[in-house]
Amino acid sequence: MSIQQNEKRVATLVESGAPTFESIYPSLYLDVKTPGVASWIFRYQLYGKRRQFKIGSFGTDHEDLLGLEDAIKLTINFRKQINDGIDPRLEIERQKRPKLVTFDDWANKYLEKKHSKIKTAIIYERIYNNEIKSHLGNIRIDRIHSYDIDHVIQKAVNSGRPSVANQVLLFIKRVFRLATKYGAVMSNIAAEFSQTEDAGGADRKRQRYLEEQEIELAFSVFRANPLKIPTASYIALTLLLTLGVRKMELMSAKWQQIDLKRQTFRLLEDATKTDSALVIPIPDLVIPLFRDLKILAGRSDYLFPKRKKSGLAHVSPDTLNNAIATLFGNAYGNRKPEPNHLGEAGVEHFTVHDLRRTFRTLLSKLGIRKDIAEKCMNHSLKGVEKTYDCYGFFPERKDALNQLAELIMPLVQYTPLITELSE
């Protein structure tokens, strides 16, 4: 049958609308569903298996529609691919996948994989956004030179942050390894760099914690810089010291986890690093901070609602980190560094996570038993105890946290908003 005859046959079948699945050309079928609506189906056999897929919709009055002649051309091309052992359906799917060209493309693919596997992927995201993206993000990954990588690493080294430099190197290595795996680059040029020779040196277990005098000095600097440490951030830093929770366990918490009447803060299992639920007793001296947070949060479901346009409903994970880094004279990305206010006040460099270590150290200093202090930290337990002991040592922990609050609160010198408003 000629092309013209086939075209007439196809037009008749489509116009009639009777459900039809008819061979029009070798391997090419017309699938009619209703009057005026039909699809082109390509059937084939590869490696002993029969397969088929839709190659387009019938029609000639739009660029996205296929007439008979174009459908036959595609069919012939697909048959050539099959003769070469290529599955045309997989080839089409490959072409539809987004093309990853720049370092940013591959970094986001790597981060996507991390987010699907671990809860703490935000750490990798922070390192990329703050330290790497502005330098390498827009460069084609196959055009990045070893000097570009070294430049990014040395910026972190020269800023006095060896551990950050190591994280930068590790992130770049992993992104290049992913790109090498998919054939975007021939080799991982970052693999030749080492922590010892090119970055921050061998990792050492961090032991930094703040003495009482440093806490007092640091919070005096926080009070002097309200634009960098607004009231909500000031409260957050105080709560990290007095409750010992991990940063995002606090910053992403909802009001439904807080019971001010019973003075408890419930950590949910799926919101903790160790998948361990815990009921935290809120010390008497800390209750006013939660009342103030309620005023600041307004109608938000979150203790710390987002402050600017963001995909998150709560405050950004970088908010406290960036604020403290800025007060130490460090700047992320293209920002200009400001004076080292904390250093000038006599405070040695510390990070947000060091506040949790400070919490644990001060518990020991107060003579709190190790098993109670570890439960206050919500460190992972084993066996059935991990599953069922969510309320363990509650009276003892309540006493421990009240003792700690009596030590911490005079140092941070927080003035409740409610008192200010009532006056």
User: What are 302-327's pLDDT values in tens digits?
Assistant: 999 988 777 788 998 889 998 999 99
Structure pTM?
A: 0.62
Predicted confidence at residue 85, as pLDDT, reads 87
Superfamily of domain 212-422: Intergrase catalytic core (1.10.443.10)
The residues that bridge with 30 in the sheet, in sequence order, are 22, 40
- The structural domains of the chain, with segments of one domain joined by +, span 3-96, 103-198, 212-422
Superfamily of domain 103-198: Tyrosine recombinase, N-terminal domain (1.10.150.130)
Q: pLDDT of 101-125, one tens digit each?
A: 999 999 999 999 998 887 778 889 9
CATH number of the domain at 3-96, please?
3.30.160.390
CA dihedral sign, ordered 17, 22, 23, 29: positive
- pLDDT averaged over every residue in the chain: 88
In DSSP notation, 297-360 reads HTT-SBSSB-SSS-SSSB--TTHHHHHHHHHTT---TTPPP---HHHHTTPPP--THHHHHHHH
Predicted confidence at residue 309, as pLDDT, reads 76
Predicted confidence at residue 360, as pLDDT, reads 96
Predicted confidence at residue 388, as pLDDT, reads 53
In DSSP notation, 187-209 reads S-GGGG--HHHHSS-S-------
- Cβ atoms within 10 A of the Cβ of 20, count? 14
Q: Which amino acid is at 405?
A: A
Q: Which residues of the chain have pLDDT under 50?
A: 384, 420-423
